[in-house]
Amino acid sequence: MPTAQPAITFFHSPYSRAAGVRWLLEELGVSYAVEFVGVHAQQVDDDYRAIQPHKKVPAVRVGDTVVTERAAIVIYLADMFPEAGLAPALDDPRRAAYLTMLVYGDSVFDPCVAARAHGVQHKPSDYSFGSFEDVIRNLDAKLTAHPYAAGPRFTAADTQLASGLGFTMNVLQVVPRLPSFLAYVERTAERPAFKRAQELDAKLAQEHPEIMEALSRR
């Protein structure tokens, strides 16, 4: 008899850095409960620090185990459900590129683009994420060489990178609209799981009008 899936609670807010994890959960096709966290209006109880020490989203609780930090959450969930085929196995030579791009999205791309968006001047050699130009050059080379972040196949690294790239290119308008980026974001947005995640987040945002109010004040 197959073992039952442990209960998954997803600590989330729409239109945030948690969007890629919602997309991944939909790609995995697993059941999960959403616990809304009011990060946009900064209405987050201090008790939530027991889940996420910085009171940020996303976080997941799987059974009794809590996982925070997007890259860790994505690695954890994609490995937990190998039948979805979104994470090359430990002995698969494609795992190196997959992990590299998955971690790159959070440790290099996100902080570097956020620094640029907020006008932070930094000396690239003093920061682990280096220069904005190198980030753009690297991603353009990768996404020109193959259709997905880590090669010819869609992986869990794409839920992170494509949602980050889409947001920073189309909403923040910081990342240049290079043909390789536009094609990648369009290609991944065609996926049914992406569309489902978008619809579910739009519905959740309607239930919390303070989200759009906070975003419109930015």
Interface residues with ligand GSH (CB under 6 A) are: 16-17, 39, 55-58, 69-70, 106
Give whichever of 3 and 128 is closer to ligand GSH, judged by the CB atom. Answer: 128
Beta carbon of residue 152, minimum distance to ligand GSH (angstroms, whole number): 27
- Rank residues 9 and 180 by Cβ distance to ligand GSH and give the closer one: 9
Plot region of 153 (φ>0 → left; ψ -120 to 50 → alpha; else → beta) = beta
- Report the C-alpha gap between 215 and 22 in whole angstroms: 20
Q: Where are the beta strands (DSSP E) in the chain?
A: 8-12, 33-36, 59-62, 65-68
> Residue 38, CB half-sphere, CA atoms under 13 Å: how many?
13
Give the nearest distance from C-beta 80 to ligand GSH in angstroms.
18
Q: Which is nearer to ligand GSH, 53 or 179 (CB)?
A: 53
Nearest CB to ligand GSH, comparing residues 182 and 205: 205
- Closest residue to ligand GSH, based on beta-carbon distance: 56
Report residue 4 as tokens.
């039952």
Contact criterion met (CB below 8 Å) for 49 and 94? no
* Distance of closest approach, residue 58 Cβ to ligand GSH, in angstroms: 6
CB closer to ligand GSH, 56 vs 142? 56
Rounded to a whole number of angstroms, the minimum distance from the CB of residue 149 to ligand GSH is 17
Nearest distance in Å: CB 216, ligand GSH: 16
Other Cβ atoms less than 10 A from the Cβ of 149: the count is 28
Question: 168: how many CB neighbours lie within 10 A of its CB?
Answer: 19
